[in-house]
Amino acid sequence: MQRSSSKLGQLYHSVSSLGSLQRRTVASQSSNSFCAHGAVLSRKDKLMEPIRGFLEETAQARVKDERTVVRRGGTGVLDRAANWVHATPMRKRRIPPQGIPQQSVEKILSVPSDVFDDDAFNTELGDQMLPKGSFLEVRRNNAVIHAVAMGPYYSGRGRQIHTLTTTGEAIPFNDADVMLCVPGFVEERLMDACGTTKLHTTNAELAARTRVLAELRAIEKEIERAVRYVDNRASKFYDYLKSDNPYEWKKVDVQTAARFYKRPDNLYPSLAINIAVHKHLMDHPRKFVAHPTAYRETQTFLVRPPVQAQNIADITNWMRIEGGRILNEFCDKVKVIMEQGKALRQRSTSTMPHEIPTNYNYTLTDTDREILRFLLDAFHAQRLTQSNPHSLPANYILKRLGMLDDMEWPVNQLGALQQVLTDLGVFSPWTDSASFASRIESLAQQPVIKPLRAPAYPPKPLGPEDLYASDPLEALRHDFGNMPVYVIDDASASELDDGVSIETIPSEPDNYWVHVHVADPTTLLPPTHTLAYRAREMSESSYLVYGTRYMLPPSTFERFSLGYTAATKEPQQVMTFSFKVDAAGDIIDYKVRAAIVKNVHIMTYDAVDATLGLPSFALISPFELPSPSPPSHSPIEPTHVERLKLLYKVSSRLTTNRALRPTFSFVIPSSDVRLAHPILPHLPSPSTETDVSTMRQFKLYGGFPEMSYSVMPPEASMRGARVMISEFMKGACRVASRFGVETGTPLVRRHGSGPLGPDPDAIERLIASRDEFGMVDQYEAAKASVVLPRTVNTLTPKRHWSLGIPDGEGYVRVTSPLRRYVDLIAHWQIKHTLLANSDPARYTKGKRVVFGEDWLLQYAREATFRDRERKRTTVMRGGYWSGMFLKRWLDGEIKSEALDSRTAVFEARPGVVVKDMYTGKYRMRSMVSQLGVWGDIKLDNPLEIGSRVNVRIAGVTMGPGPKVNLEPV
């Protein structure tokens, strides 16, 4: 490739790919000195000279752009900021080179949060901040903004990215809205000279901003040329990327897609081509869907199946031709059927789930099925960073059906779609719509699994269906004899991964050995087995309202659950992580062993609390009357009481030791909804929808399964047996990391950096305000704009700030191998090292571990994104079922003797305050602790964060992410 002297060319030659540009900072390639940028010019003529030149350049560019006829197949970069009108063919509206008008920017910032933004105290920031001076592309609400990073910005919503936009104004954006980051675009010193206020306040700031805008305009010109090159040759681009299977999705990253354009005559810098390909894929959402939650980090798109892409094109075309005749006829028929179904459902007397017989006397046509398929595909939660090709046709259909409110903003399209699909029998009333709305996100997170090299044991190779014929570590296992092992968990727990033992040391009366025994499914399961690949696909078990999806099939691995052989006292294989705790709560020694336990006792948290005289914090059931008698527990034999007291004594040492470190955390109440009974086999499961392609008749379902509603109080995780077991599990994870450091075994570790905020003194005040368990008031943190960045996975033993784990020690998850794949990886690695240490001659270099560092680095990154996706999905599912319960309670379909929906009053505390620029009202995202749900209070004047206000539940707007509307009383 010809070496380029352009700005992008300079950046490209510093780093080899767009992907690496997203992940690391490169040296600035600016050819001008800091003084040449105008930051220190003092004389008026010298100051105005670069400003005049820049204004002349942008004016010429504006004239040129306005004369340009926009081709339908390819557009310039500045057109990306325009709003599209898809209903009728028309020319794109041009945006002048200076960028998006200020009114548009303000509207972008004021649009209500999308379905992914739920937890008011959740930050979307990782450990790293976007480097100052980076070129950024920001996308929100179909608008594209080019900007330069100025550093962090703190507001009521936590930390954002402060940017200098093409308008010359300093504007903050959410980190999640930044789609591209090219570090080293301009020098950091130049960005410092730009100031931090929205508009410049001095001539020096004006000159610095002018120079940055000149650089920004120059890179936009390069990108425009590359975009024209890409768009002009894109006629077969989709055919190049799509799957051969017309019904199958395909995943592709930008660099792989850009190979389509690598030709000998290509004179453009590779980075410019990559950016242009990114823009082309972003601007064709009918064919390509950007990664919903981690696009900037992965640069990954999902390529729509040809059948779905054609379906979108067909429905969009039907909306335009003949006045929408085809869609109108469908809507007219369906509207009648929906009205008949409503009457049939009202006449149905059964409250339990059932199918209602219908007499619609209508057979679906192929056209009907095409439209139903479109509506089902349209039912997905999509972020506002990419256009939604389903949106306009779906709104057209819903409007024709009378399902949309003209006065509502934002439009609750997903809620209306859910109602239509339910009325037509594609969904049932009990369908888990939150999971369906997240299915594209789940597709994006699915790993590309390649076969692994078989481990060095046993000697003969293992096939994909081969389990271990015998225990590979049988000769190394330590026998704990008759030492009692206590498995303490909730009464409803099914996957019992861990148990604890305590051992006194006669020569060291103040010190104790704690042994954490962990289930050992890798005794049977090698990493090359198909069940191991399936476990990686799942990442971990899912605990749903209507049941559990196990990562490892219970039929094969239930026997590894601790306590499975408790009745027979048969030996059970475990991995044991032991640590010695001194009087100060420090871990002064450790051991990691494969072991055997025989004396296992299963207990519940509540039973241990009652035995030790500790306060019990059972689940709160706000919709049920308090039980007149305390819950009963299986009695614990007196012989175990002293050991349990010792365990609690040692755990208190660990808790106190951690609380002495400068750390803090907070806990937010959460609700838990469960179905009282499983859905009958002849009815659709909550996780399935009717196959539209085979539907011949519209169906109708009625009733709803009985639900229970409970809330876990924050105190439950900070006191009693729960915190005792939690401390021991943390100790085991610390020990695993220490073992990896000492033996040189590469392991995946959790890393959490310290708090971030605009005022270091505020962080110190929060640390000083901690209680004995290291907890702080989350509302005080929100007032100070202090956030705790999310944890990430790494191979290095970095600190975990909130757990008080220092740099050099690290934290490796090892205590849940029955339900978490990352724990299985750690077990395979550690066991292989134990074998290698026992026979160094056999396990030479290169055979001492199962997974090499390169593979682990890739998996650590994958696991970080999977953790994020799982958390989002869990929040969405929990919010959906809580919202469904509350709506049915408000509608009188759920009766409660404890709470009357007409008079019940709750206490709410605002966590986030946002002004809606469309209505002028303030929206306060508030926590109702009694119910464990977030709700919205809308008022003309804002409430103070953390203030207490009495509210009633005014309504619930349903959809995959229900909105609970609160009304002050």
Q: Structure tokens of 364?
A: 């679906």
User: Which residue from 423, 417, 428, 419 is spatially nearest to 343, judged by alpha carbons?
Assistant: 423
Q: Any idea what DSSP says for residue 680?
A: P
Residues 6+ apart with CB under 8 A from 49: none
Q: Structure tokens of 923?
A: 């929206």
Determine the pLDDT at residue 746: 96
Q: Compute φ and ψ for 105, nearest 5 degrees.
A: -60, -45
Total count of residues recorded for the chain: 969
Provide long-range contacts, Cβ within 8 A and 24+ apart, for 92-99: 94/65, 94/66, 94/70, 96/62, 96/65, 97/58, 97/61, 97/62, 97/65, 97/166, 97/217, 97/220, 98/58, 98/62, 98/166, 98/167, 98/168, 98/213, 99/145, 99/146, 99/165, 99/166, 99/167
Q: Structure tokens of 810?
A: 């690290």
**DSSP H or E segment with residue 414:** helix 413-423
Determine the pLDDT at residue 713: 82
Determine the pLDDT at residue 268: 56
**DSSP H or E segment with residue 913:** strand 906-915
Q: Structure tokens of 606?
A: 């509540």
Q: Compute φ and ψ for 481, nearest 5 degrees.
A: 60, -130
Q: What would you report as the CA-atom Rg of the chain, rounded to the nearest whole angstrom?
A: 30
CA angle 547, 550, 553 (to 5 degrees): 125
Report how far residue 256's alpha carbon sits from residue 182's, in angstroms, rounded to the nearest whole number: 18
| CA-based torsion, 177, 183, 184, 187: positive or negative | positive
According to DSSP, the residues that pair with 826 across neighbouring strands are: none
β 587-597/478-479 pair status: parallel
Q: Contact 926/908 with Cβ under 8 angstroms?
A: yes
Ranges of residues in the chain whose predicted pLDDT is under 70: 1-128, 156-158, 263-269, 406-409, 448-461, 630-631, 844-847
Q: Contact 159/153 with Cβ under 8 angstroms?
A: yes
Q: Is 764 exposed, middle or buried (0-12, 13-18, 19+ CB in 10 A)?
A: exposed
Determine the pLDDT at residue 519: 96
Identity of the amino acid at 934 = W
Give the dihedral of Cα atoms 954, 958, 962, 964; nearest 10 deg: 0
Q: Structure tokens of 86?
A: 């898809």
Report how far residue 907's alpha carbon sits from residue 927's, in angstroms, rounded to the nearest whole number: 8
User: Which residue from 745, 713, 326 is spatially nearest to 334, judged by alpha carbons?
Assistant: 326
Q: Compute φ and ψ for 155, nearest 5 degrees.
A: -145, -170
Determine the pLDDT at residue 379: 94
Report how far residue 954's alpha carbon sits from residue 969's, in angstroms, rounded to the nearest whole number: 11
Q: Structure tokens of 498?
A: 């861990």
Residue 351 Cα distances to 346, 358, 623, 891, angstroms: 11, 18, 19, 14
Report how far residue 644's alpha carbon sits from residue 641's, in angstroms, rounded to the nearest whole number: 5
Both ends of the chain: CA-CA distance in Å? 69
CA 416 to chain centre: 25
Give the pTM: 0.85
Report how far residue 558's alpha carbon sits from residue 541's, in angstroms, rounded to the nearest whole number: 14
Residues 6+ apart with CB under 8 A from 460: none
User: Which residue from 912, 905, 907, 904 is spatially nearest to 938, judged by alpha carbons?
Assistant: 912
Residues 6+ apart with CB under 8 A from 448: 251
- Per-residue pLDDT tens over the stretch 323-372: 999 999 999 999 999 999 999 988 887 789 999 998 888 889 999 999 99
Determine the pLDDT at residue 88: 28
Q: Contact 102/169 with Cβ under 8 angstroms?
A: yes
Q: Structure tokens of 650?
A: 């040692």
Q: Contact 687/435 with Cβ under 8 angstroms?
A: yes
Q: Compute φ and ψ for 62, nearest 5 degrees.
A: -65, -45
What is the DSSP track for 815-841? S-TTTBHHHHHHHHHHHHHHHHHH-TT
- Per-residue pLDDT tens over the stretch 737-766: 999 999 999 999 999 999 988 899 999 999
Which single residue is written with the structure tokens 């504007």? 171
Give the dihedral of Cα atoms 290, 296, 300, 302; nearest 10 deg: -10
Residues 6+ apart with CB under 8 A from 528: 451, 452, 453, 454, 455, 462, 463, 464, 466
According to DSSP, the residues that pair with 592 across neighbouring strands are: 577
